[in-house]
């Protein structure tokens, strides 16, 4: 069905001449007029003939929703055969329109239907506001089948045993906590206070009070860390021995597009919906829409496969406001989203295993470990991928918690793994993920030409190797907090520390020497601050430690004529002696080939505003 909605001051019509399929009308039905009305011009199409109830139900709900949105007081249904060349037969048209009229009236609306099959004269006064003219395509989708049965959980052991979670006492503390929450529906009691938010605020990461709940802002230090992590996520993707196409796109897509609307249903009330001038839009909840919208237009051959598409995409999910957490659960997140396009399931499983290994490697690089929650869209999906899952469980030599969704729902994916860490408060927190997608290629029209010249739909992997940018920062801060919990000094990896080195002069007489050394280290691509304020040495050193500077050096009389410096090394929490060249070598060695950006705020502390 095709529709055109006009919000009008008034609409009036008069029947003139019947067509061969005209319905009978009484004298009082030959004219009609309504004021403050939403007029729905309706064309019933051939494809609506086998789903009259579904089309009428969807159309009536959409008409009522639009009337409420624009503030119309009444509804007029106007048969209009000019919106489509592919018309249904007359009897189907009449049935659909009568059913829409009945359903709208049943909701308490004053509704009038103009006669079907007549030539009519009409006059209409369109209000002319941005939402006064809207068009729709009603596809009349049947309601999805109800799920059969309930979700189920099993613990899969490296020896292949499948164990009931109830009574299973093996695995790590993180595994037990994850299993209690997910499978046993028991919330493990958290311990202590939330500590990582102190570090968020220290580095200028906070909620934006002038925005919607769950939206963050980043001051210069936090913004620098954010961009470094985004750079790192791109570096990971481009190191996978896989051709990668990096893209950039919009963050909103029209709900009038079938693939978008169909995919959006999976997220229900977690969607951000934007009311546009003539159409409604959904804010993307991952990079999928943009990458898929592009790939459907690409001319792909089997010779191109596999390949990756990548974007650090701002994504939006309407999380419960009371459950938002800085860096961990936000309404706007930034997803380093990689899609790996594969020719078939075997190739997809091969890359799934590779990505799984890289996901674990990235956690290990931070001194963290993962436990796995493996979700299956059905029991059949588990059987099809059981060899892959057993390989992964044996590789990591640990149990995995298997979660089976209720049967009977046609999910677009078959299996995904959520990778959880144990945070300082003894909560299992999902960070990385990888998933096999068998449905979206067909939904969006992404196809490749196989060896025989046939168009074939690929299998697509979704992965965020380090999680969202925000969750990677959460992991960094939580790791530092756990260092403190163990009695150590909390540190950040040098490459992501906003201020890697700081020089401090004892007096004005030492300032030029401090500036000279700072410039020398800075030229080696090291982020260097200079505390040139008229403060005591004790205060400068104390604040350098409070700011988590990696290496802090005081320049006094002894350093005026010597390259040997006394350096406070935060990672060791003690002073060490080294030359300027040794300092550069140490810091550059710790940065290695990780991303580098200069400081996002003035080097001189005297020029920095108090934030």
Residue pLDDT, tens place only, 483-518: 999 999 999 999 999 999 999 999 999 999 999 999
Q: What is the pLDDT of residue 80?
A: 93
Q: Indicate the helix (H) or strand (E) that contains 369.
A: none
Minimum mean pLDDT range among 259-263, 388-392, 403-407, 521-525: 259-263
Q: Which residues are within 8 A (CB) of 88 and not within 5 positions of it... i.e. 6 or more apart?
A: 44, 45, 46, 47, 48, 49, 96
109 and 194 assigned to the same domain: no
467 and 396 assigned to the same domain: yes
Which is it for the CA torsion 501, 507, 510, 511, positive or negative?
positive
Mean pLDDT confidence for 440-466: 95
Domain coverage including residue 507? 494-607
Residue pLDDT, tens place only, 136-159: 788 776 555 555 678 999 999 999
Judge whether 595 lies within some domain.
yes
448 and 531 assigned to the same domain: no
294 and 373 assigned to the same domain: yes
Q: Which residues are within 8 A (CB) of 75 and not within 5 positions of it... i.e. 6 or more apart?
A: 37, 38, 40, 63, 64, 67, 104, 109, 110, 111, 112
Residue pLDDT, tens place only, 417-452: 999 999 999 999 999 999 999 999 998 899 999 999
Q: What is the pLDDT of residue 189?
A: 67
Judge whether 485 lies within some domain.
no
Neighbours of 139 (CB within 10 A): 16
102 and 188 assigned to the same domain: no
Q: What is the pLDDT of residue 48?
A: 86
Residue pLDDT, tens place only, 294-347: 999 999 999 999 999 999 999 999 888 788 999 999 999 999 999 999 999 999
Using CA atoms, how far apart are residues 598 and 601, in angstroms rounded to an integer?
9
- pTM of the entire predicted model: 0.78
Judge whether 383 lies within some domain.
yes
Residue pLDDT, tens place only, 367-383: 999 999 999 999 999 99
Burial group, residue 276, by CB count within 10 angstroms (0-12, 13-18, 19+): middle
Q: Which residues are within 8 A (CB) of 536 and not within 5 positions of it... i.e. 6 or more apart?
A: none
- The structural domain count of the chain equals 3
Among 411, 444, 477, the domain-final residue is 477
């Amino acid at each position: 069905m095709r529709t055109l909605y006009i919000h009008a001051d008034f609409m009036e019509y008069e029947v003139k001449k019947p067509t061969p399929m005209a319905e009978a009308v009484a004298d009082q039905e030959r004219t009609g007029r309504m004021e403050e009305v939403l007029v729905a011009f309706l064309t019933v199409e051939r494809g609506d003939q086998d789903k009259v109830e579904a089309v009428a139900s969807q159309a009536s709900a959409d008409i009522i929703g639009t009337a409420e949105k624009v503030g119309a007081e009444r509804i007029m249904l106007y048969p209009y055969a000019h919106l489509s060349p592919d018309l249904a037969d007359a009897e189907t048209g009449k049935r659909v329109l009568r059913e829409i009229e009945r359903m709208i009236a049943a909701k308490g609306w004053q509704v009038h239907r103009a006669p079907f099959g007549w030539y009519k004269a009409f006059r209409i006064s369109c209000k002319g506001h941005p939402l006064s003219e809207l068009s729709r395509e009603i596809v009349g989708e049947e309601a999805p089948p109800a799920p059969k049965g309930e979700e189920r959980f099993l613990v899969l052991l490296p020896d292949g045993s499948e164990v009931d979670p109830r009574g299973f006492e093996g695995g790590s503390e993180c595994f037990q906590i994850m299993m209690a929450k997910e499978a046993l529906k028991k919330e493990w009691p958290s311990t202590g206070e939330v500590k990582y938010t102190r570090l968020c605020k220290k580095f200028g990461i906070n909620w934006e009070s002038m925005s919607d709940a769950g939206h963050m802002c980043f001051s210069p230090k936090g913004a620098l860390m954010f961009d470094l992590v985004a750079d790192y996520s791109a570096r990971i993707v481009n190191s996978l021995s896989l051709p990668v196409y990096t893209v950039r796109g919009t963050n909103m897509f029209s709900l009038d597009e079938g693939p978008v609307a169909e995919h959006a249903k999976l997220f229900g009330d977690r969607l951000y919906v934007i009311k546009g001038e003539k159409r409604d839009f959904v804010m993307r909840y991952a990079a999928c829409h943009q990458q898929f919208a592009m790939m459907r237009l690409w001319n792909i051959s089997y010779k191109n496969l596999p390949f990756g598409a990548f974007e650090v995409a701002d994504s939006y999910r309407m999380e419960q406001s009371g459950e938002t957490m800085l860096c961990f659960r936000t309404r706007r997140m930034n997803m380093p989203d990689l899609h790996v396009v594969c020719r078939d399931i075997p190739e997809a499983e091969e890359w799934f295993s590779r990505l799984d290994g890289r996901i674990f490697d990235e956690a290990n690089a931070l001194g963290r470990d993962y436990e796995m929650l493996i979700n299956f869209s059905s029991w059949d999906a588990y059987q099809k991928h059981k060899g892959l899952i057993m390989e992964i469980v044996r590789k990591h030599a640990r149990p995995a918690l298997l979660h089976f969704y209720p049967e009977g729902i046609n999910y677009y994916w078959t299996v995904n793994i959520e990778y959880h860490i144990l945070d300082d408060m003894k909560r299992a927190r999902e960070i990385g993920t990888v998933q096999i997608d068998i449905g979206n290629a067909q939904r969006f029209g992404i196809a490749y030409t196989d060896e025989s010249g046939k168009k074939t739909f690929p299998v697509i992997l979704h992965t965020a190797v380090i999680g969202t940018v925000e969750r990677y920062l959460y992991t960094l801060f939580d790791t530092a907090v756990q260092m403190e919990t163990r009695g150590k000094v909390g540190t950040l990896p040098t490459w992501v520390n906003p201020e890697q080195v700081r020089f401090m002069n004892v007096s004005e007489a030492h300032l030029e020497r401090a500036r000279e050394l700072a410039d020398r280290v800075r030229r080696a691509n090291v982020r260097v601050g200079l505390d040139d304020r008229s403060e005591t040495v004790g205060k400068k050193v104390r604040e350098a430690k409070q700011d988590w500077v990696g290496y802090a050096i005081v320049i006094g009389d002894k350093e005026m004529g010597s390259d040997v410096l006394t350096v406070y090394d935060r990672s060791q929490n003690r002073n060490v002696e080294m030359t300027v060249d040794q300092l550069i070598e140490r810091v550059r060695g710790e940065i290695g080939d990780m991303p580098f950006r200069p400081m996002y705020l003035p080097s001189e502390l005297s020029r920095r505003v108090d934030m």
